[in-house]
Amino acid sequence: MHTPPLPLTRDLVLIGGGHTHALVLKKWGMNPLPGARLTVINPGPTAPYSGMLPGFVAGHYERSELDIDLIKLARFAGARIILGAVQGIDAETRHINVPGYPPVAFDVASINVGITSGMPDLPGFADHAVPAKPLGSFAARWAAYLAGERPASVAVIGGGVAGAELAMAMAYALRSKGHPAHITLIDNADILTTLVPKAVATIRNTMMDLGVAVIERASIDRICDDGVWLQDGRKIEADFVTGAAGARPYEWIANTGLTLQDGYVQVSEYLQSSDPAIFAAGDCAHLAANPRPKAGVYAVREAPVLFDNLRAALGAGRLRRYVPQKDYLKLISLGRKSALAERLGTAFSGRAMWAWKNHIDQGFMSKFRNLPQMKAPALPKAHAAGLAEAVGHKPMCGGCGAKVGRDALLDALSKLPEPDRSDISPLPGDDAALLTTGGVRQVMTSDHLRSMTPDPVMMARIAAVHSLGDIWAMGAKPQAATATIILPRMSPELQRRTMAEIMTAAGDVMRAAGAEIVGGHSSIGDEMTIGFTLTGLCDKDPITLSGARPGDALILTKPLGSGTLMAAEMAGQADGAWVAAAFDLMIQPQGEASRILANAHAMTDVTGFGLAGHLKGICAASGCGATLNIDAIPLMPGALDLSAQGVRSTIFDDNRRLAPELPDVGPARILFDPQTAGGLLAAVAADQAAGDLKDLKDAGYPAAIIGHLTDIPGLTVQN
């Protein structure tokens, strides 16, 4: 007997992907709370682990070793992830504000966004320097600087532990590269005031040995393009300036209405703010009962308590107290593979301390590597013949990877009688029909997608762009749409929230394309599915599959690879940055591309049947063949790597059978990859192709000329 999934009844939203929330996501994946829908909001697809930053700067770690992949982690936890920077919380309406996104509703929320830098407030800093956080921009600038050949001059602002670690790491890295270097550490007070004298002496000696000059009790006047001016008139020559001081809370927290301490969210021993539905942890929180310094060790140890208390706030269990330790082990990188350990007034240093620090850091990061993969459900012991083959060896893909094979669809459509209405003109091979009403020509099409992300907003944007593809491919102008939406089982309140998100996001896409949503239908099912029926207006004959000519150039407006990437993402194999880039490409509208390609002889959108299948459709309707330049076909980041690892969408084999003459090796495998909200594939006169391609690129499309049509039937590839 089929057991439907339990309804969703409460929304839990984690704001920020800091260390505490990363651990909560891991624990949630291992023990989810039935009925709770989990969302995490973070500016990017990864969250850096700051404890390994000095090691990266010194050259001991690769950049990728510092990142917690939040997209993989969210998939493991069964959570949706929203990539954006929170700008506010409305505690009264229970909404979170993310620019470019409909209001995100919550029943319980938690804040773990860390702290930001006050460095950009220094005169000239924003123009001539780079803060140590966020890590992404700092890492890119430092890597480029380190690759240079000229003598180096670096200034680090901030004489705390973080600034000293950066200065020593930079000095070691530059020395290891053989660069003559001058490093200066600047602070407006005495440096390292939070450490015991023995630790301070060790760090000072290490900096001296590495050639780091220390300037204390000196205020900065301004930063210019070639150095730092102090208020006493001195100039510190530097062509790379960074800052690890001036830590402060994010400004939006001040407008939440929560009780604050020096701008930080004041929390109780239960990590609850003044609003019992909003929690906070890590550096953005102030522990009212037991104030502690801003240190990652507290954020990590808050995680199990926060996990239990979030569940309690959602209705499962009781709140428990967080009791922070009075002191903690400080492990400080000393540039080379040496570290200093300080606790309870005692300090030790050397390579053994580095080994211990590295062990702790790698142990923390290992919690988020090699997460368990999603497996296909086990079959019952007794089952009908053919069930194992039908289920397959992996979960079914979403998006166009879940489409029925082309042969099954065409066979069913071929058995339908010909229309006997004079105002309907079927377009063989196209996914639309031409209607004539009162002398006005319309095209009509319909499409829907099985969810491939738990985020209703992203899924609505993708489904809307995907459904508009047939209208754009025919050179028509989108007119009207009706929506068909299936939601998973959820409470009436969550239905209202989810429908509002979907319709807002889809309405924005449709309106930007020139269409309006005029109605629709909805129902409850096992999983989210979003689709649209659309009409478009034609002011000239529509572009179909049948007008292509031998010699035409083939232009593709979007890279391939979404099917492979989404299949990998479901299995926890795709890097989060690859997935985020794929989503960005999928939601790119093709309206302007359609306008640029208005003189195409034939055009289609590349979707479920892959490039090979859709190109075969053009060739069959136009009576020609095609040669593809496999090296010219643009691919989404990560698609080729994943394909080489054997990652396939569930419809891959069906698509492969559509073009058996093509090789199934190397990059050619991507030709059979089903695309969701894919690009336009246009057959354009050879003498117009270069001009069209330039216009497409100027309009922001990653387009390419990928081959040409021939008078020999079938498809071939060349390198």
CA 678, chain centre distance (Å): 18
Q: Please state, in angstroms and as integers, the Cα–Cα distance from residue 216 to each residue in 156, 224, 394, following that order.
A: 12, 20, 61
Three-point CA angle 665, 410, 556, nearest 5° = 50
Q: Which helix (H) or strand (E) holds 465?
A: helix 456-473
CA 94, chain centre distance (Å): 25
Residue 233, token pair as written in the block? 């008139």
Q: In 3D, which of 635, 681, 650, 672 has the Cα closest to residue 430?
A: 681
Rounded Cα distance between 426 and 533, Å, is: 16
Angle between helices 161-176 and 135-146 (to 10 degrees): 30
Number of neighbours of residue 261 by Cβ within 10 angstroms: 14
Q: Which of 284, 397, 400, 624 is catalytic?
A: 400
Rounded Cα distance between 373 and 518, Å, is: 41
Residue 218, token pair as written in the block? 């000196």
Q: Please state, in angstroms and as integers, the Cα–Cα distance from residue 184 to each residue in 100, 145, 178, 198, 243, following that order.
A: 41, 16, 18, 22, 12
Q: In 3D, which of 295, 252, 247 has the Cα closest to residue 119?
A: 247
Rounded Cα distance between 252 and 374, Å, is: 37
Rounded Cα distance between 518 and 624, Å, is: 40
Rounded Cα distance between 367 and 373, Å, is: 14
Rounded Cα distance between 681 and 618, Å, is: 9
Residue 377 preceded by cis peptide, ω within 30: no
Q: Order across the sheet with 285-287: list the strands.
A: 260-261, 264-267, 285-287
Under 8 Å CB-to-CB from 396, ≥6 apart: which residues?
402, 450, 650
Q: DSSP secondary structure string, 574-626?
A: S-HHHHHHHHHHHT---HHHHHHTTT-SEEEE--TTHHHHHHHHHHHHHT-EE
Question: Cα torsion for 678, 681, 471, 564, to the nearest 10°?
Answer: -20
Three-point CA angle 211, 217, 218, nearest 5° = 80
Is 400 a residue of the active site? yes
- Residues known to be catalytic: 400
